[in-house]
Amino acid sequence: MHENYVGFIGLGAMGEPMARNLIKAGVPLVVCDLDPIKCQIFETLGARIVQTPAEVARHAKTIICLVETTAQTRSVITGPSGIMDIASAGHYVSCMSTIAPKEVQRLAEELESRGVGFVDAPISGGTEGASAGTLTIFAAGSQKSLSVFEHVFSIVGSNVFELGDAGQGTAAKLINNMLFQVNTVAVAEALTLAAAAGIAPQMLYDMVKVSTGYSVAFEMRAPRMIARNFEPGGKIDISYKDQELQTSMAKELGVPILLAPITQQIYQMGSNLGHGREDGSAVIKVYEAMGKHD
């Protein structure tokens, strides 16, 4: 085992640029991903490639898990050939995926019962922030576990918020995503309505940018919608998944929410139209498809 190795599981749209930044900063990585092409690329960058999460734990005491779904996270950590096959006292795992808060709490309990430190640390900032190393990290866990990841977090992010127990980081991330994903649908509606009213999209953008309707979602999504750039940053299917988690969390806590469940249907429509793997800004296509046709 290389004492300085950091394990990285999941080289997706967010994980790949984050792992690249760690390598650029001189952090020795051992990586695992289902995509053999990505693994080959990282091998040329100097990373050690292994085939299973268990092998990651065999080589690295500090491990990042960044996969898409709750089921995938559970499989990586506790499934066959998972991290827990090898991990013991002295290992530390940070789950940076956006999954169900209750599942995060269960994973934390299972790992900590084995003496394995756990940090709940989902991220915000999109692929642009991942590439630039300016992500926001919602970190929750013990001070000891948080301190282990301090250097790694300082490389991949520029804002680290320390919350309380595991699950609170994910809850905070879901609330943030709810605001962004609901707002994205409003941006799509605004641009579609403007076009129908004869207002040029760029003109609307220029006006809103200096008016009260402006927001981060407008700044990130409107230019993509105008330029028809739907290369995935945060995919429609991921937004749908997140909103399912938001709604479930609200139900568990007894809090009524209206906008997340409603706008989730727009993401569902986008996926059904074949745009699920496109950027969330592609929800504008739903409104275009439903628009009045002369």
Q: Is 173 a catalytic residue?
A: yes
Q: DSSP readout, the chain?
A: --TT-EEEE--STTHHHHHHHHHHTT--EEEE-S-HHHHHHHHHTT-EE-SSHHHHHHH-SEEEE--SSHHHHHHHHHSTT-GGGT--TT-EEEE-S---HHHHHHHHHHHHTTT-EEEE--EESHHHHHHHT-EEEEEEE-HHHHHHHHHHHHHHEEEEEE-SSTTHHHHHHHHHHHHHHHHHHHHHHHHHHHHHTT--HHHHHHHHHTSTT--HHHHHHHHHHHHT----SSBHHHHHHHHHHHHHHHHHHT----HHHHHHHHHHHHIIIIITTSBGGGGHHHHHHHS---
Q: Which of 24, 38, 102, 173 is catalytic?
A: 173
Please state the φ and ψ torsions of residue 52, each to the nearest 5 degrees.
-135, 155
CB atoms within 10 A of CB 53: 29
Please state the φ and ψ torsions of residue 6, each to the nearest 5 degrees.
-115, 130
Q: Which residues are the active-site residues?
A: 173
